[in-house]
Structure 1
């Protein structure tokens, strides 16, 4: 997307569409919205001889968040169309409000086949939010909403996105604002890259294809390196969890190790660990519902790759290592069986109770391997349990870990990005179910109760004494219906931007 800064007034901005924002009045009865002076709304209304105000009253437009009103400019200004967007109550105004406004602008622009949009950038703080912060949120919303996944459709049936440029009218120093736009686009495109990977069908995105995507990323950027371990190297590493899960598949497993090093002394070293099950049938405990969605079981791995795509250009002063354990979980005569006992890379023996609790087996090996990099922080991301949605719903990511400071940092980053997370307790009494039986652990022991907490408890020991957090993205990595700036059913890219905000703030 192209960004342009101009001192020209909004009426002289050469764009297909200009937009202004109105707030909802805090009153018991609906009241018609009032145009603002600061963003050019009143000036445009004057040029159109009050026709915008007339339309607002006629349409009973009161500025509720999500409301929009499209008006033809009647050739009285350079732009063809004027868009009025409701921002809701001013006391509830936030970065997420701005992100949703960006999403609305992108949707409407594409709907009328507009290529360029113009708006005023106010230089004063609004609700404590700086101009750069607001601009970054707006551009993120635009880029995320401009996403589509139509590679598999006939070219004639695709709906191309026309929205390509934004003209910002401002009188201030534009260097900081341009940087905010670039950062926003980088972060949002990283999330969109993760969405592409997660939306891809499992016959195309195999573990080998995922490894190739990682290698291509490293080849493209000098400050990123990538090493891929194949079946022979995985056996040499004695990754018993990964080897057990992959047994039922004809696709070979891959273990991916990515490295980003800053050009100067790093402030910390962060290990990102992603679950990369490119298709999860459940194995011999085969799934009985929504099996067609199980291509999304590599969303944790996709998150790691999305983050690394952004690291190459955003260049935080943090050393980042990425670890992805990738395979398929399939039923066959060779598949791991309920009752089998396996030995993980850490030497811990695990009795397989449920072959559909495979994610924790591959993550156990990945966490143990990642410990050898001696990180300051470890963060694993996985579509681990269906119980995540029952615990906190489909819009919040459960987060668990052994370090309150790290948990707090990630929760705060999620608040900034509109990707909320909520801490669940690592209640040790729930681990008792994993300790019964002939092996050191069982891979399932809680039934359906507190499954998200129990999944994290299984992983906790493999992080050893490192500061570690587990993010269960089973319900937030995928949207079952369009919402806000995620304008299509499918992968959301959550929590790519949260991780990037966290890394940039370290």
Structure 2
């Protein structure tokens, strides 16, 4: 889908030739003397439309407007959240449109503009990769009307970059396990290296064994599919700038291993690599936006299968850190994959480490599908991620990391067990991971409830690409003034 930014006022939008015109109307929007404003005023006067968030009014070939279909969508107070609500409601009535003009009857804020573009993409997304007669996305072109292109350009470019990243994450999250094997996921990572500033290295079983990643290898040993460990690098700043490391759980299919899952809804375990998909999506977005920051992405990918070689409950393995782990439940495999990746992350001397994983059903029970779970050992990092999630409409919620929660991970047969009891399962999983990050600023995002939807709307959400990208762009913006200040001090 092609997005285009154009300088158009209300009269220009009314005369724009397109299949559909989607007009966002705040409750307090002032109206002019053009045809479009006339229709808005008339709809308000008649009581058919009041601009409240999510309310819509469809018009067909209204006089004085070139578009075949016009939808007025109430955007409430004009905030990013109500604008997203308005766009999703409006797009629900415009499923056949091929060329859309999107405009606002009030001033755009940068946050609202980003939210509107993301919502258009979200509402029109169609998965086609494994369908023989798939009907592709109908919407081909979206013209976004603004007062001044120059002032809106930065927010527009960020939004378009985010769309590319979210849709890349959705693509890989939605693919079934036989079309998203560890090798294919690694190939997706390698494909990103075609973009300037991005490089990729992929390690296989032999290289991972040399590194001593015994926990990662234990999960993989029951599968015919070989594991893959992808190392992505985005270099947008000086080499001296410490990177942020993103670590994605990439279980391409999770049967639970010997601790096998029940059959019902097991097909959804193809989504167990959505942490890895989010890392892929972030790098796809970075390729478009190209901020001044350094980022490393680590994707540890394998299947969790129950054949005769599979790891057994009670087995003890040695992680890359040297710590031994008693595997009491083979269905708690994500933390075993992540712990070795977290140890590997240390070699980059990162400013911060963020791991992303569909880790626990307990987090779904706690937070449902609205907010991702956030755990962190660093107050500044936690605050930045919480703020990024709110601004990106991709929210998270911080959960505790009290040391008392780790008591359940004690065992007589190894340094640590991979599970504790049922109570506080999301927290004890995070406490397990915390053992492998030392004193580095670290955060863990449990996206088990937010990475995909079930039921009739089954599919990947692309979350938390928006949150992560907002965080990274915030770090780049914070670093930029410091770099300028240093440059000026040298001149002085």
Equivalent position of 1:18 in the other structure: 21
Residues 167 and 321 of structure 1: CA distance in aligned 2, closer, same or farther (over 3 Å): closer
Residues 471 and 44 of structure 1: CA distance in aligned 2, closer, same or farther (over 3 Å): same
- What CA distance in whole angstroms lies between the structure 2 residues aligned with 1:169 and 1:208? 44
Equivalent position of 1:161 in the other structure: 138
Equivalent position of 2:464 in the other structure: 495
- Asked if 1:36 corresponds to 2:29, the answer is yes
- What CA distance in whole angstroms lies between the structure 1 residues aligned with 2:339 and 2:386? 24
- Asked if 1:462 corresponds to 2:436, the answer is yes
How much has 1:12 moved relative to structure 2? 2.0
Equivalent position of 1:137 in the other structure: 115
**Preserved contact between residue 346 and residue 462 of structure 1 (Cα < 8 Å):** yes
Encode CA deviations 1:452-492: one digit per residue, 9 max, x unaligned. 0000000001011100000000110012257xxxxx43101
Residues 69 and 121 of structure 1: CA distance in aligned 2, closer, same or farther (over 3 Å): closer
Encode CA deviations 1:373-426: one digit per residue, 9 max, x unaligned. 110100000011000111122111110010011011000000011111111010
- Asked if 1:116 corresponds to 2:100, the answer is yes
- Asked if 1:420 corresponds to 2:395, the answer is yes
Encode CA deviations 1:67-109: one digit per residue, 9 max, x unaligned. 2110123442222222111234x3xx52122123233344433
- Asked if 1:471 corresponds to 2:452, the answer is no
- Asked if 1:230 corresponds to 2:218, the answer is no
How much has 1:120 moved relative to structure 2? 4.0
Residues 112 and 305 of structure 1: CA distance in aligned 2, closer, same or farther (over 3 Å): closer
- Asked if 1:146 corresponds to 2:124, the answer is yes
Find the partner of 2:89 among 92, 99, 104: 104
Residues 505 and 4 of structure 1: CA distance in aligned 2, closer, same or farther (over 3 Å): closer
- Asked if 1:354 corresponds to 2:329, the answer is yes
**Preserved contact between residue 273 and residue 378 of structure 1 (Cα < 8 Å):** yes
**Preserved contact between residue 35 and residue 64 of structure 2 (Cα < 8 Å):** no
**Preserved contact between residue 71 and residue 81 of structure 1 (Cα < 8 Å):** yes
Q: Which moved more, 1:265-274 or 1:254-263?
A: 265-274
How much has 1:51 moved relative to structure 2? 5.5
Encode CA deviations 1:295-319: one digit per residue, 9 max, x unaligned. 1111111111111111122122221
Q: Which moved more, 1:136-145 or 1:70-79?
A: 70-79
- Asked if 1:372 corresponds to 2:347, the answer is yes
- What CA distance in whole angstroms lies between the structure 2 residues aligned with 1:344 and 1:408? 31
- Asked if 1:76 corresponds to 2:64, the answer is yes
Encode CA deviations 1:160-194: one digit per residue, 9 max, x unaligned. 32251224152x3x123133222101112201110
Equivalent position of 1:304 in the other structure: 279
How much has 1:142 moved relative to structure 2? 1.2
Residues 243 and 222 of structure 1: CA distance in aligned 2, closer, same or farther (over 3 Å): same
- What CA distance in whole angstroms lies between the structure 2 residues aligned with 1:158 and 1:498? 30
Residues 46 and 471 of structure 1: CA distance in aligned 2, closer, same or farther (over 3 Å): closer
How much has 1:45 moved relative to structure 2? 6.0
Equivalent position of 1:316 in the other structure: 291
Residues 162 and 45 of structure 1: CA distance in aligned 2, closer, same or farther (over 3 Å): closer
Residues 21 and 227 of structure 1: CA distance in aligned 2, closer, same or farther (over 3 Å): closer
**Preserved contact between residue 237 and residue 293 of structure 2 (Cα < 8 Å):** no
Encode CA deviations 1:327-355: one digit per residue, 9 max, x unaligned. 00000110000011100011100111000
- What CA distance in whole angstroms lies between the structure 2 residues aligned with 1:49 and 1:209? 51
Matched positions, count: 471
Equivalent position of 2:80 in the other structure: 95
**Preserved contact between residue 325 and residue 415 of structure 2 (Cα < 8 Å):** yes
TM, length-normalised to structure 2: 0.90
**Preserved contact between residue 45 and residue 53 of structure 1 (Cα < 8 Å):** no
How much has 1:114 moved relative to structure 2? 4.3
- What CA distance in whole angstroms lies between the structure 1 residues aligned with 2:299 and 2:173? 14
Encode CA deviations 1:42-65: one digit per residue, 9 max, x unaligned. 7436756976457x53xx544442
How much has 1:215 moved relative to structure 2? 0.8
Q: CA RMSD in A?
A: 2.2
How much has 1:23 moved relative to structure 2? 4.8
**Preserved contact between residue 47 and residue 76 of structure 1 (Cα < 8 Å):** no
Residues 268 and 108 of structure 1: CA distance in aligned 2, closer, same or farther (over 3 Å): farther
- What CA distance in whole angstroms lies between the structure 2 residues aligned with 1:279 and 1:121? 47
- Asked if 1:406 corresponds to 2:407, the answer is no
- What CA distance in whole angstroms lies between the structure 2 residues aligned with 1:178 and 1:64? 28
**Preserved contact between residue 22 and residue 100 of structure 2 (Cα < 8 Å):** no
Residues 309 and 71 of structure 1: CA distance in aligned 2, closer, same or farther (over 3 Å): same
Q: SS of the counterpart of 1:66? A: coil
Residues 502 and 4 of structure 1: CA distance in aligned 2, closer, same or farther (over 3 Å): closer
